[in-house]
Structure formats: structure tokens, C-alpha cells
Amino acid sequence: MRGKRIAITGITLIAVVLGLAIMMYYFNQDKCPVGTFLCQNTTICMPQRSWCNGHDDCPEGDDESSTHCFDANGYWEWFLKERPKPPLFTCDCPVQECHCNGCKVSCEGLSAIPRNLSPNVTTVNLSYNNFNEVRSDVLRGYTEIRSLFLLSNGIEDLKVGAFSGQPRLYWLILTNNSIKEIRPGHFKGLSSLETLRVDNNRINKADFSDFAGSQSLELLNLSNNSLTEKTLLFPVLPALRELQLDYNKIRVISRDFLAGMYSLRSLTIEGNELTTIEANAFANLSDLTELNLADNKLTAIPDHLFNPLVNLTQLLIGYNPIENLKILIFEGLINLRSLGLEEVDMENSGKNALLTFKHLEFVYFKKFHYCTTYAPNVQHCRPASDGVSSLSHLLGKPLLKVAVWGISSATCLGNALVLWGRFTAKDENRVLSIVIRNLAVSDMLMGIYLLIIGLVDVQFRDTYNQQASKWMSSWGCTFLGILAMTSSEVSVLILSFMSIERFILIAAPLKGQQRALTPQTAGFSMIFIWISGIFLALIPAIHWRSSTRFYGLNGMCFPLHIDDPFLIGWEYSAFIFLGVNLLGLITIGYVYAGMFASIWRTRHNTPLFVGDSEFALRFFFIVLTDAACWAPIIVLKILAFLKYPVPPDLHAWVVIFVLPVNSAVNPLLYTFTTPKFRERLEEGWIGQLRNYVSSKNSAQGSQGSLDGTQERSNSFLSLTTKWTGFDKKSSNYKKH
């Protein structure tokens, strides 16, 4: 009956503690932590990397909506421009290889441009035919053409005056041909041309003087050719809005190169051989809104290069071997909304510069932790799979700041008392003392780990945003992770070892006596366990030694991989928590169940000091504490692998409140609850304290009440001590 009441009380206390923990976690969700953003119509906060990652994380899926995910910054006016409709002509369709839709004509299987189309055709599509030149007189009879498509025809030569009879043509597409040169006279007479595309050709020399002073040409695409700054000549193009020069062989951009394009809105020079950009190269481009210099050979950018670009909304300079990027070069870009810095090392850059960009919406970095260091307030930051947002995980809540000190102090103090008790006791069971001492040392390491986390939080308070990158990539963070991992794994191995040894002694007592451990065997076993635990902790640090990123994935320096399960080293993390720790939990649960079953079967034949209910309660609490430590982490990792969204700030709660459960409770289960240890405490500090209190209290009734309370406490604590080796009446360890 007494055991039943104690069990109910214990379960109730555990439920209350869990309920309070859940309530504290819930009510601490006041607003989204830095680095996370609110889902619409909810109170759910999702981290940066969960936005636009390919699957819905918010309940209403707004994290994947085109409004949030499509980077529409840059120049789009050309696509959205409304053009006047051509007059309604009547057209016939005399050519057999052509298909006509009113005055829109599309032809296939031709070896030359047809001459007998209707003179009123407005759109002519001659793509994917086979003719290698455009003669000067072949289109002269079609004066109403607005759009002319000549894609993929193998055209090698444009004759002078080929398009001179097209005063109304505004769209000319010559993509994917074999044109080698553009000379003056090729585009003569195209007074209304708005769009010219000659990309994906073999052009190595181009002179666009035919368009000098043009008030109509708005888009010019010369991508994927072989042009250099010396073989490409631009006149003054006052109406040009978009210039595409991607994947040519341009090495230098001088001021004169773009001087005549003062209305330019979009300039893309991606994939060239750029090594130099003169400081005043963009001096006349104050209307520019999109600039793409990515994938070149730039090693440095002039300090004031971007100062004239006050209207720039998108800047892409990633994939350049820039050696020392100065964030201050961006300070004049007050309207910047999208910034591409892929594969650009920013370790030595200023930490706060990007915080001045109030309109920044998209950032593309080399490393994920740059997102938390340089752009924690930017909702769309890539890459999205290289780390955990440390700003959301390192003691962001006041409760965490207090708890880390309380739990670390309790863990260190409790295990220090265990070591004091075990080392000063003269008649201790040597085998059990060796095991418990090593367990206490391992558990104390976890307390030291939490203590250092608290110190780091104090050190970087109010400045952690600037220090996050340096801290996570430091060897100090790696060492701290190794310390915590060693503590966790050594504790798992020692508790599993103790469980198996008890099972042998209790379930098979005769064989257990023959196989009982000697102090030497116990010592060697502990040495082997410590070597194994340290080895397990060191392997990832050695394997990923070039980056320190296994332990430095987040500010807590502990690789749970529950927020994003597929980060660097996820396989090893799964091996530890879903392999070693899960196996240890199963072993402990199975072994204690076997021990209880053995005691249950022999209860009529063996005189026991405690009843069956007391054994059940004892085993229940041992298995419960192990499960409370490892089961939540195992479940969270499984949920993460199943792509269930795990709250981003849960990492710190798990590390502070769940991971140290065993380290904090083991002293209570294996030492403090033993009658002998309590007797020593009563004879020492507690006895002195009680005598002092008693001397101040003259009321006998009050003293009697205190003794009664102590007696009831001793009765409860004795339930969990009979198999630790301290109780002289029941310890099998005493006999060997």
C-alpha cells in the first residue's frame, strides 16, 4: 500500500514537472526569435531555411507561396510592356510549308526565306529551318512585319541592308545561329526596333553603330558569344534599358565601355573573364536596378564602385574569387532588395553592415551561418542546409539563461558530493565505487559543459550577433562539443554496463557469484568505456577538422541535427543517437524488466528485504530517467527525418532541460538515496545544521514534527537504494 502511494505521488510529480516545462516553453513564445519569421494567421515561427525550401512548413503553406519565394527584384518592365496591336489586315497563305493564323505565319522545312508570303504579314516565325544567310533584298516586300523569329537556322552571314525595308519591326530574334560578325549596315533601317537578340552565336566582333542615337532599342542580348571589350563597340544608346553580355570573354570594364547607356536598368555580365572594373565604370548608370557580375575572376572591387547606383535593387557578385570583401562597398545601395554573394568568403567582413539595408529581402551566401551573422533579419537567406540558426538557439530566452546556471550548478554539486562520499568512505564496495565514481566524473562533465555555455552567453551578451560566426567556427566550440558528447556517451555506456552486471548477479545469482567482477576488471572496463566514449566524440572532429562544422553547426556546439536532419555529419549524428543511445536505452529497459521478472518469479522462495511494489518502483524510476534523457532526442530525430517541422528554438531547450537529466538525477538514484550516505550526511553537515536549528527551538512538539518528517523521507528514499551496494542486508556487491 505504501509503495502504491509513493508510485502515485512520483508519477504525479513527474506529470506536474512536465506540464510546467511545457507551459514555460509555450508562454515564452512571445514573438518570433531573431532568424525566424511568422507564418500568416498563426503564432508559429519558422526559421530562415524553412522558407521556400520546396515543401510546406507553415500550416497554410504561405512559406512556399510565389509572393514570398520568387525573387522578382531587378528589371521587368520589358516583359510587362504593353505594345500596340497591329492593324487588322487580310492575309492569304500561299506557301505549303507555312501555317497561317490571320497575318501570323510560321514555316518549317525551308532552305530559304520565302518571297511569296502575303505582303501584310505582321509576325513571321522562320525558326528551325535550314538557310545560312539573310540576303539584303529577301524581306523587302514585307513592310508590315512587327516580329521576326529566325532561331536555329544555321545562319552564318547577314548581308548589309538585310533588314532595311522593315521600318515597323520591333522584335528581331537571331538566337542560336552561327553568326560570326556584326558590321555597320547589318541592322540599317530598323528605326522602330525595341528588342534584338543575337545570343548563342559565334560572334567575335560587333559594331552596333547602326543604332546610334536610337530612341527605340530597349533590349540587346549578346550572351554566349566570343566578344571582348576590344571587339565590342557601342554607340550612344539613350533608350537602352537592358543589356545582356553573359558568357563572353570580357576582361575589363572601363568608363567608356558603357558611357552612352545612361538609361540602362539591367546589366548582366555573368560568366565572363572579368578581372578589372574601373572605379568610375558605372558613373553614368544612376537608373540601374539590376547588376549581375557573378561567375567572373574578380579578386577585388573598388571601394566606391557602387556609389552611383542609388536605385539598384538586385546585385549579384557571387562566384568570384574575391579575397577581402569590404561590406562598406554596399553602403550606398539604400534600395537594395536582393544580394548574391555565393562562394564569397566573408569571415573578415564587418558584421553589421547589412543591417542598414531596411528593404533587403533575399540574400545568397557561401555559408549558412553567414545568414545569422550578417543578415538575421532577412527572411529569404540561402543556402538553407548548412547549419542551425545560432541566434535562435543560444539562450535566447530569460528562462534559459537562468536554467543553465541552476542545472549546471546542481549537476556539478551533486556529482562532486558523490565523488566526496565515494572517496572518503572506508568500507565501501570497491567494485561499485569504481563504477559510481566514473559515472559521477562523466556526469560532472555535462555540468561543466552547461557552465561554459552560460559563461559564453554572458561573454557575448548583446554582441553575440557579431560573434556568432567566429564562435561556431572556433576550436573552443569544437572542444565544448567533444566534452558534451564524451559525457553523454560515457554515461550511456556505464549505465548499460551497470545494468548488465546487475542482471547477471540478480537473475542468475549462482552464475553471477562465479562471474563477479574484481576491482581490477572493473577498472579495466571503465578505462575501455572512457576510451570508447572519447573516440566516439573525437571521430567527427577529426573527420571534419578542416571546417569545425560538425560541432559548430549551432551556438550550443552540440550536434543534435533535429532542426535540419541532413546537415554536415548527419549520418554520424544518427549513428550516435539512433544507434548507440537507442541501443543503450533498449538494453537498460530490457535488463531491468528481466531483473524484475526474475524477482517476481522467485518471490515465494527468496526472503526479500523490500516488497515487489518497491522493486517495481525502483526499476520504474531508473528506466524513466534514462528514457527522459534519450527518448525525447530519439523521437525528435525521427520526426526530423520524417520532415516534421521542429521548432527552431527547441534545440537549446533540449540541450539544457533534457540532455542533463541523467547527469543531474544519477547522484540521487545511485548515491544520495542510500541509507549509509544519508547517515554520513546526518552525522556531518546536516546533523550540525539540525542541531543548530534544534538549539534555537525550545518547543518539543516542533522537534517531534521534524523527526517525523525525516522518518517519512527516509522511508521513501530507502525504496530506491537496495541494489546499489550500500545496504548491508541486500547488496550482492558486498559478497565479492
Most confident of 25-29, 579-583, 701-705: 579-583
The amino acid sitting at 150 is L
Contacts of 51 (CB under 8 A, 6+ apart): 37, 57, 63, 68, 69, 379, 380
Q: Is 461 exposed, middle or buried (0-12, 13-18, 19+ CB in 10 A)?
A: exposed
For Cα atoms 270, 274, 275, give the angle at the middle one, nearest 5 degrees: 145
Helix locations, 236-374, DSSP H: 369-374
pLDDT at residue 605 above 80?
Answer: no
Which range marks the domain in which residue 557 is found?
A: 393-674+721-735
Instruction: Look at residue 392 in the predicted model and tell me its pLDDT.
Output: 42
Instruction: Look at residue 214 in the predicted model and tell me its pLDDT.
Output: 93
Contacts of 103 (CB under 8 A, 6+ apart): 86, 89, 90, 91, 118, 120, 121, 122, 123, 144
For Cα atoms 374, 73, 339, give the angle at the middle one, nearest 5 degrees: 25
pLDDT tens, 523-548?
999 999 999 999 999 998 888 776 55
pLDDT tens, 134-169?
988 788 888 889 999 999 999 999 999 889 888 899
Listed residues 171, 203, 221: the one ending a domain: 221
The amino acid sitting at 4 is K
Q: Residue 126: give its domain's CATH number.
A: 3.80.10.10
Contact (Cβ atoms closer than 8 angstroms) between residue 360 and residue 336: yes
d(CA 341, CA 301): 13
d(CA 679, CA 581): 35
d(CA 612, CA 599): 8
Q: Which of 85-99, 116-130, 181-195, 258-272 has the lowest mean pLDDT?
A: 85-99
pLDDT at residue 66 above 80?
Answer: no
d(CA 165, CA 639): 68
Return the C-alpha cell found at 307.
556609389
The H or E element spanning position 491 is helix 475-507
d(CA 147, CA 167): 12
Contacts of 673 (CB under 8 A, 6+ apart): 717, 718, 720, 721, 724
Q: Closest by alpha carbon to 377, among 707, 12, 35?
A: 35
Residue 253, strand partner residues: 277
Contact (Cβ atoms closer than 8 angstroms) between residue 56 and residue 173: no
d(CA 176, CA 162): 18
Q: Does residue 680 lie in a domain region?
A: no
Q: Residue 455: give its domain's CATH number.
A: 1.20.1070.10
Number of domains in the chain: 2
Q: Does residue 17 lie in a domain region?
A: no
Contact (Cβ atoms closer than 8 angstroms) between residue 247 and residue 226: no
The H or E element spanning position 290 is strand 290-292
The amino acid sitting at 102 is G
Helix locations, 162-248, DSSP H: none
Average pLDDT over all residues of the chain: 77
Q: Does residue 398 lie in a domain region?
A: yes
pLDDT at residue 230 above 90?
Answer: yes
Contact (Cβ atoms closer than 8 angstroms) between residue 544 and residue 568: yes
Q: Does residue 241 lie in a domain region?
A: no
Q: Does residue 366 lie in a domain region?
A: no
Q: Does residue 165 lie in a domain region?
A: yes
Q: Closest by alpha carbon to 657, among 632, 640, 681, 692?
A: 632
Q: Does residue 175 lie in a domain region?
A: yes
Q: What is the 3-state secondary structure of 310-326? A: CCCCEEECCCCCCCCCC
> What letter would DSSP give residue 81?
-
Q: Does residue 2 lie in a domain region?
A: no
d(CA 385, CA 593): 42
Instruction: Look at residue 361 in the predicted model and tell me its pLDDT.
Output: 85
Listed residues 188, 221, 254: the one ending a domain: 221
What is the pLDDT confidence band of residue 248, given thresholds at 50, 70 and 90?
A: very high
Listed residues 221, 255, 282: the one ending a domain: 221
Tell me the percentage of the chain whose pLDDT exceeds 90. Answer: 29
Contacts of 709 (CB under 8 A, 6+ apart): none
Give percent helix, percent strand, percent coil of the chain, each to the nearest 5: 45, 10, 45
Q: Which of 427-436, 554-563, 706-715 has the lowest mean pLDDT?
A: 706-715
Which string of b and e fits 579-598 if b means at least 16 CB within 10 Å? ebbbebbebbbebbeebbeb
Q: What is the mean pLDDT of residues 248-259?
A: 94
